């Protein structure tokens, strides 16, 4: 491989920041960048107050990575992936917007209007970042947001720089090989990307103390004899970003005298934030709404913005409902924001909050008069991640850390001379079974609100209490929250989680290990669909995080189980494809449940168990229409007692070729029926909950050819699907490609890409050679004549004596894939990698040139390249007595082709490799090969490399 071109010289952080943002960094930002660059490590905590540009830690981490791009990978200490972690789902996510801005500026400075010297600075950083990746034509930086429990997003290449924005549960579950939203077979990949070569920037890290404690205990439980990467990048590096942390001395980075002299910093530190204390009785919803009304009516003829913080979604909903009866639409724009919203509804709320004229963005032009009051009722979802600035604020009683964050959204920039807040303290709710000696306890915050009230009253005068940035720590004192304890990690437990192919029944849940025993974050994801498959049928289109909302498992059980009756629900199976019908009691944390769209329990502001309105099936907008009478009926007549009009039923039957009395219908008549169905649907009013533009978009561009796939609903797909369906390793759909691909060139291309990834990560040459060999031979089991018949769509194919051009990928349409398999004779659930490993084992035995540990690794990487073999590849029903002939390194070997034979050596091999490289190190080696295979299969152009044998 040719040596990479030496990247351009790295610019200073100050020049990089100024090129990005058009201004110099604050003194603390420049000082932190200098510290990180010189010390090659971060302080344990960055304790800068909210409102002073804490998201610039992303800029520093990206610049630091670029600054080391010319180092030998073995010496690089800056991690390739930068994770920004928060403890709750963020819907107004200024950090994500910040990351996207950096990505776009690096990729195309001119597109953002950056020219001249600034463009050269950004170009130099971009070139340095690209040089780290195995593909120098790749984007300099990936930005990925893990929104909820249903997702297939992940960095595409372990050597490519990436920013990943995630919640604590999404990260923690991935770290422990049980990733929410990870298909069962992709869990090792997600674990490797979370557990190696990663910098964790934990926003308001006091909310993630269990995760911070978990990381060192995992290292102790998974000791290994060999590291894949150098010490600095073998395990996650953790940085706490919190103004209310507990580190002292050199472990904590804070403002200094130079910052105090900076005019903008000083203005924000001196921001006026008087807080009125009100002790009330009665319902929280009523009292919080009354306080907000009182603030907004202080100046009868003025309009203002007001934030109302509630501690629970139920209280927030009650405040929202009451305020809507108090203020007319002409007087106030009122929105509700909780973490229980899908992207579709959250997008509208986000746009209203960040509107430059009437919203609450910190960047809003204050010389523009508001047309009416703007009120945001929110839960803790706005405490972090949101760069918003309110004139007034009302907050329910809470803990020290939460109040500090909420106050950071009041007069954030110090520009409102009339800024005011009200702290509403209500008695703790009574709970059955609680003893008097236990004392009062409030939801979420336990006993701490009692302490906060006492400290506020002690600091108050007749006008309330001043809680600006300079005063808040003195007034509120040290936090008194108790996160409780988390269970202890033991090696045996970790070993069970690492076995991702065959997880043990009733295994220990991972949530308590990063959320704690007292309040584990047990959640499930909910999606709503017009078409619900029957059990063991496949969900179409596949579930997406954009259509999902996460709800506490206990609440879902309570809502669905009312009345004491046994309830069945539809759950997405482990493969992420098929549906299984289960009892409500069988639902597990991290599950995805699929509801009919006419079931309700969701409205324009999110999860609402009282709502009976139909829910928009978001999958239809981008993917197409299921040709199912019940599904279309849910769209056109949800919860109505009338049946789908006869005209629609007849058109659906005609479109599917289903006619009565044995009449024949030709393709032309079917197409006419499809065209008529589309036109009639376009003539309908938009269904309940849909906008006219959404309905038009969903129907207008439908294909006029019916797609019918085994175990999936017949449908009319969109002509140009904007969100491609992720391929599944489970059904060997990775063997589908844009066009047919020959087996030998594919193996060489994967070997070249895998070697390039490993080289840029710093994998030692001996190991990298094994990974490359595995890439070269991973698909040779596809030489089986049955698999070739499947790929070639030729049931009569027989290998000839003079050799045939064997295929690795088929260009056949996906909807014909299963029918082709049946006609080929390849057994259902048969794994070609089993045959590849058998051939490789014969080569190892014949050459005897690999050390036993490297031979183990070679076989495991081949066996596991679709996620199986951890620790066992399950057999297929296969009675063949045929043999398979395959060529490795110029020598032909022959093995049994019977896929019912189990490799009983694999579990012990898997155990030995985990002991040698550690769970995350082994998973990283698997990831290098698997993502190389994925990128080549997706059509990436890779220079072919002959791998020496």
- What pLDDT is recorded for position 391? 95
Q: What is the pLDDT of residue 519?
A: 62
How many whole angstroms separate alpha carbon 430 and alpha carbon 540? Answer: 46
Residue 349 burial by CB count (10 A; 0-12/13-18/19+): exposed, middle or buried? buried
**What are the tokens at 632?**
């279309």
Strand partners, 894: 885
In this structure, what DSSP letter does residue 436 have?
G
Spell out the residues 6+ positions from residue 690 whose beta carbon is closer than 8 angstroms to its own: 616, 698
Which long-range CB contacts under 8 A does 792-797 form with residues at least 24 apart?
793/820, 795/823, 795/824
pLDDT at residue 638, rounded to an integer? 66
Sort strands 305-309 and 373-378 into parallel, antiparallel or unpaired: parallel
Q: Are 13 and 63 in contact (CB under 8 A)?
A: yes
Residue 393 forms beta bridges with which residues?
A: 307, 421
Beta-carbon contacts of 502 under 8 Å, excluding residues fewer than 6 positions away, are 870, 871, 872, 874
Quote the CA–CA distance of 931 and 467 in Å, as a whole number. 51
Are the CB atoms for 180 and 170 separated by under 8 Å? yes
DSSP-H helix ranges across 762-809: 765-777, 785-792
CB 754, CB 771: distance < 8 Å: yes
User: For each successive 10 residues of the chain (949 residues), what is the average pLDDT?
Assistant: 69 98 97 97 92 94 97 96 86 85 96 93 97 92 83 86 93 92 89 97 82 88 84 94 76 93 95 96 94 92 94 95 95 94 89 90 85 94 85 96 93 94 94 64 90 96 91 92 82 91 82 80 90 91 88 92 81 87 91 94 94 93 92 79 75 83 74 92 91 92 88 86 48 71 94 97 96 97 94 83 78 80 92 97 92 97 96 93 93 96 96 96 98 84 33
Predicted pLDDT at 103: 97
Tell me the β-bridge partners of 893. 886
Dist. CA 152–CA 522, nearest whole Å: 20
- Which two tokens mark 200? 């964790």
**Using CA atoms, how far apart are residues 165 and 146, in angstroms rounded to an integer?**
6
Cis amide bond preceding 871, omega within 30: yes
What does the chain come to in residues? 949
Burial annotation 633-672 (CB, 10 A radius, 16+ → b, else e) = bbbbbbeeeeebeeebeebbbbbbbeeeeeeebeeeebeb
Residues in CB range of 97: below 8 A, 6 or more apart: none
Q: Given CA atoms 854, 859, 865, 871 in this order, what sign does their dihedral have?
A: negative
Count of Cβ atoms closer than 10 Å to residue 246 Cβ: 16
Tokens of 852: 């036993």
**Helix, strand and coil percent figures for the chain, each rounded to 5:** 40, 15, 45
Closest CA to 19 of 117, 143, 142: 117
Contact 840, 862 (CB under 8 A): yes
State the pTM of this model: 0.89
Detail the DSSP E strand segments found in 541-614.
Answer: 549-552, 568-572, 579-583, 592-596, 602-603, 606-607
Q: Tell me how far CA of residue 816 lies from CA of 192, 461, 674, 743, 784, in angstroms.
A: 34, 77, 21, 21, 20
CB–CB of 556/526 below 8 Å? yes
Say what angle helices 743-761 and 906-937 make with each other, to 10 degrees.
Answer: 100
CA dihedral of 164, 165, 169, 172, whole degrees rounded to 10: 30
For 504, list phi and psi in degrees, rounded to 5: -65, 150
């Amino acid at each position: 491989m040719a040596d990479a071109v030496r990247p351009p010289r790295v610019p200073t952080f100050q020049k990089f920041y100024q090129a990005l943002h058009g201004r110099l960094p604050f003194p603390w930002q420049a000082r932190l960048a200098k510290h990180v660059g010189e010390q090659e490590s971060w302080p344990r905590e960055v304790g800068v107050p909210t409102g002073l540009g804490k998201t610039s830690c992303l800029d520093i981490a990206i610049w630091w990575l670029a600054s080391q791009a010319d180092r030998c990978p073995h010496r690089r200490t800056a991690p390739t992936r930068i994770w920004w972690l928060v403890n709750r789902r963020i819907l107004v996510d200024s950090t994500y917007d910040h990351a996207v801005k950096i990505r776009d500026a690096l990729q195309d400075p001119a597109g953002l209007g950056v020219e001249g010297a600034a463009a050269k600075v950004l170009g130099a950083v971009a070139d340095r970042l690209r040089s780290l990746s195995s593909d120098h034509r790749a984007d300099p930086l990936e930005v990925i947001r893990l929104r909820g429990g249903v997702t297939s997003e992940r960095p595409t290449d372990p050597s490519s720089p990436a920013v990943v924005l995630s919640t604590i549960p999404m990260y923690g579950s991935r770290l422990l090989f049980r990733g929410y939203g990870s298909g069962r077979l992709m869990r090792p990949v997600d674990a490797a990307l979370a557990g190696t070569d990663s910098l964790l920037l934990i926003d308001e890290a006091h909310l993630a103390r269990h995760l911070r404690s978990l990381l060192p205990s995992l290292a102790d439980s998974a000791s290994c004899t060999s590291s894949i990467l150098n010490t600095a990048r073998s395990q996650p590096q953790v940085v706490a970003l919190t103004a209310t942390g507990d580190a002292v001395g050199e472990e904590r980075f804070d403002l200094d005298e130079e910052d105090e002299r900076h005019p903008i910093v000083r203005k924000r530190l001196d921001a006026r934030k008087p807080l009125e204390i009100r002790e009330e009785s009665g319902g929280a919803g009523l009292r919080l709404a009354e306080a907000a009304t009182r603030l907004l009516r202080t100046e009868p003829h003025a309009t203002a913005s007001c934030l109302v913080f509630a501690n629970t979604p139920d209280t927030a909903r009650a405040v929202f409902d009451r305020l809507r009866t108090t203020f007319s639409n002409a007087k106030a724009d009122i929105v509700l924001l909780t973490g229980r919203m899908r992207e579709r509804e959250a997008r509208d709320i986000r746009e209203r909050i960040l509107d430059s004229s009437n919203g609450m963005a910190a960047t809003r032009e204050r010389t523009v008069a508001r047309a009416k009051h703007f009120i945001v009722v929110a839960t803790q979802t706005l405490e972090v991640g949101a760069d918003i600035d309110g004139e007034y604020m009302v907050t329910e009683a809470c803990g020290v850390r939460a109040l500090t964050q909420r106050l950071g959204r009041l007069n954030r920039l110090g520009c409102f001379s009339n800024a005011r807040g009200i702290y509403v303290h209500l008695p703790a709710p009574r709970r059955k079974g609680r003893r008097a000696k236990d004392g009062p306890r409030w939801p979420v915050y336990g006993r701490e609100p009692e302490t906060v009230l006492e400290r506020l009253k002690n600091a108050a005068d007749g006008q309330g209490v001043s809680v600006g940035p300079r005063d808040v720590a003195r007034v509120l004192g040290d936090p008194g929250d108790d996160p409780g304890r988390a269970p202890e990690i033991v090696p045996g437990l970790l070993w069970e989680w690492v076995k991702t192919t065959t997880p043990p029944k009733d295994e220990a849940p991972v949530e308590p290990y990063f959320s704690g025993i007292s309040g584990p974050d047990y959640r499930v994801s909910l999606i709503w669909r017009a078409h619900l498959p029957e059990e063991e049928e496949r969900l179409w289109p596949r579930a997406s995080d954009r259509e999902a909302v996460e709800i506490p498992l206990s609440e879902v059980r309570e809502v669905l189980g009312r009345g004491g009756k046994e309830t069945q629900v539809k759950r997405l199976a482990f493969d992420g494809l098929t549906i299984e019908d289960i009892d409500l009691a069988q639902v597990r944390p991290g599950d995805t449940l699929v509801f009919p769209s006419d079931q309700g329990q969701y409205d324009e502001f999110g999860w609402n168990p009282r709502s009976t309105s139909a829910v928009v099936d978001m999958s239809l907008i981008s993917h197409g229409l299921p040709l199912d009478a019940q599904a279309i009926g849910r769209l056109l007549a949800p919860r109505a007692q009338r049946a789908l009009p006869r005209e629609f039923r007849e058109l659906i039957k005609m479109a599917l070729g289903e006619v009565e009395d044995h009449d024949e219908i030709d393709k032309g008549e079917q197409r006419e029926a499809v065209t008529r169905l589309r036109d009639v649907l376009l003539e309908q009013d938009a269904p309940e909950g849909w906008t006219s533009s959404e309905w038009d978009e969903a129907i207008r561009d439908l294909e006029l050819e019916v797609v019918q796939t085994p175990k999936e609903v017949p449908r009319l797909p969109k002509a140009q699907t904007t969100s491609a369906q992720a391929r599944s390793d489970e059904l060997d759909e990775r063997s589908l490609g844009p066009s047919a691909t020959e087996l030998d060139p594919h193996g060489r291309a994967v070997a070249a890409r895998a070697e390039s990834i490993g080289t840029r990560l710093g994998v030692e040459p001996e190991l990298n050679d094994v990974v490359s060999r595995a890439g070269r031979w991973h698909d040779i089991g596809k030489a089986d004549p049955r698999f070739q018949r499947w790929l070639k769509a030729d049931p009569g194919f027989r290998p000839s004596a003079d050799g045939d051009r064997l295929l690795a990928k088929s260009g056949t349409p996906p909807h014909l894939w299963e029918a082709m398999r049946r006609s080929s004779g390849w057994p259902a659930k048969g794994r070609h990698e089993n045959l590849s490993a058998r051939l490789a084992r014969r080569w190892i035995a014949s050459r005897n040139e690999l050390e036993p540990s490297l031979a183990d690794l070679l076989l495991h990487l081949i066996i596991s390249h679709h996620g199986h073999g951890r620790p066992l590849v399950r057999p297929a029903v296969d009675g063949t007595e045929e043999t398979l002939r395959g060529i490795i390194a110029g020598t032909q070997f022959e093995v049994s082709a019977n896929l019912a034979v189990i490799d009983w050596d694999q579990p012990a091999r898997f155990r030995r490799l985990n002991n040698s490289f550690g769970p995350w190190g082994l998973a990283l080696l698997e990831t290098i090969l698997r993502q190389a295979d994925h990128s080549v299969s997706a059509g990436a152009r890779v220079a072919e490399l002959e791998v020496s044998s």
